[in-house]
Structure 1
Amino acid sequence: MNNVRTVSDTKRNFYTVHTRPINSIYRRVVEELMVEMHLLSVNVDFHYDPIYALGVVSSFDRFMKGYRPEQDKVSIFNALCQALGADPQKYRQDAEQLKTLATQVSAQELISPTGQLSSLEGGQALQETLQAIAASSKFKYSRLFAIGLFTILELADPEMVKDEKQRTEFLKQVGATLHLPEDKVQKDLELYRSNLEKMAQAQAAMEDILNADRKQREQRAQAKSEAAIADAPRDEAPSA
């Protein structure tokens, strides 16, 4: 009997946990992330690690930036994880710990499986993760893992990220060290950065529309108020 969870099962679970409608420009983002996480979760070679967690959290937070109502973002993220039987708090905690690590050492030290991270909180676990990835012939690479690596680089060395040549060379080095598919890493991250720009443009356009609508409502309210004042009966002036 095949008990592997289907995409439909995951979607059903998601909408059971998060019952509010999702704003249209964000719905595709949420469902694509959900499907991507689902397909990884049912792959026999996939294993959760903090770099993947950071990729999930970073991708979600960036693409969902500006979502309204703000409090729904927590419910949506929790539902994404819980729909897959995962703990959203673990994703958040592992991602935050890795982000903190990234600000304490260089990018080179962070991604080196032979680096000396044991003195830092969470450093030993990351080092062991990297060593396991480098040694495994069955490591399941994913776009979300690449986004996690890219987020580390952004935090550890933001100037390198701005320099295309340095960024490309560093990612090549990471790929060689961890035995990742170099071309796929580069393409996945190029698409990720491009989609972030497109989403930022869509969010800015949506904000402009909302601001214009708000301004029109305020103008109508003001005009209505002024008309009411003008139509109000006036007291007769006292006789001399």
Structure 2
Amino acid sequence: HLMRYKRTYRYDPVFALGFVTVYDQLMEGYPSDEDRNAIFEAYIKALNEDPEQYRKDAQKLEEWARGQTPTSLVEFSSREGEVESILKDIAARAAGNSFSYSRFFAVGLFRLLELANATEPTVLEKLCAALNVNKKSVDRDLDVYRNLLSKLVQAKELLKEYVDREKKKREERTEVQKANEAVTKCSGAY
């Protein structure tokens, strides 16, 4: 997280939403929820930030986005509210070149669009314009993100196939062993 140490870096909830989204997707299926949470906390605390704040802000933005339409999402600046104020602050900082853009921010934007059921590509364009964020950068980073998700799905499928294959081999070995034991018992009886 070198960007954390950029001069223009300042925590914002959209970044947190993106980070939490990526983290949760990458760690989905991790054997222990307790360990998954401990890793998350350790990572965020290592950045001298608050893991609870990340989760709380991500949840707040998700709840807000679920109540939005594609139009209301883009027109955040014409309304008052906690999330609207956050987005207005980001737009002002981005316009003044005091905003530190990142891939996690792009994923956070994508998550907002997803939850507001904004499937039309022009909505992302309008949202980027409203936030004064470079759409080409967002597009590039979302392509990287989608590619990562695709590879993650493939890796999970391969792992499942491997686990299933090993389980079947183990069952076959157990059956052979039981058959051998039965033969040995029968042979010993005569």
**TM-score, with structure 1 as normaliser:** 0.71
Which has the larger helix fraction?
A: 2
CA distance in 2, matches of 1:190, 1:113: 25
CA distance in 2, matches of 1:235, 1:185: 74
Q: Counterpart of 1:228?
A: 181
Q: Counterpart of 1:154?
A: 114
CA distance in 1, matches of 2:74, 2:13: 12
CA distance in 2, matches of 1:71, 1:204: 24
Q: Counterpart of 2:170?
A: 217
CA distance in 2, matches of 1:214, 1:71: 26
Verify the 8 A CA contact 1:109 1:115 in the aligned structure 2. no
CA distance in 1, matches of 2:76, 2:92: 10
CA distance in 1, matches of 2:4, 2:188: 76
Verify the 8 A CA contact 1:112 1:127 in the aligned structure 2. no
- 1:83-102 equivalences in 2 (<5 Å): 83-102=46-65
- 1:155-174 equivalences in 2 (<5 Å): 155-157=115-117, 160=119, 166-167=120-121, 169-174=122-127
Partner SS for 1:96: helix
CA distance in 1, matches of 2:113, 2:186: 69
Query: Does the alignment pair 1:135 with 2:135?
Result: no
What is the CA RMSD across the aligned residues, in angstroms? Answer: 2.1
CA offsets, 1:136-191, max 9 Å, x none? 21111111011001011111106x1xxxxx22x22211111111111111111111
CA distance in 2, matches of 1:141, 1:92: 20
The count of aligned residue pairs is 187
**TM-score, with structure 2 as normaliser:** 0.89
Partner SS for 2:31: coil
CA distance in 1, matches of 2:33, 2:180: 36
CA distance in 1, matches of 2:65, 2:138: 20
Greater RCO between the two (CA within 8 Å, min separation 6)?
A: 2
4+ aligned runs moved over 4 Å, structure 1:
233-236
Q: Calculate percent identity across the aligned residue pairs.
A: 33
- 1:19-38 equivalences in 2 (<5 Å): 38=1
Tell me which amino acid in the other structure corresponds to 1:95. A
Tell me which amino acid in the other structure corresponds to 1:189. L
- 1:5-24 equivalences in 2 (<5 Å): none
Partner SS for 1:232: helix
Q: Counterpart of 1:181?
A: 134
Q: Counterpart of 2:14?
A: 51
CA distance in 2, matches of 1:226, 1:69: 37
CA offsets, 1:38-61, max 9 Å, x none? 212211211111111110000111
Residues 52 and 208 of structure 1, relative CA distance in 2, 3 Å threshold: same
Verify the 8 A CA contact 1:107 1:153 in the aligned structure 2. yes
Q: Counterpart of 1:197?
A: 150
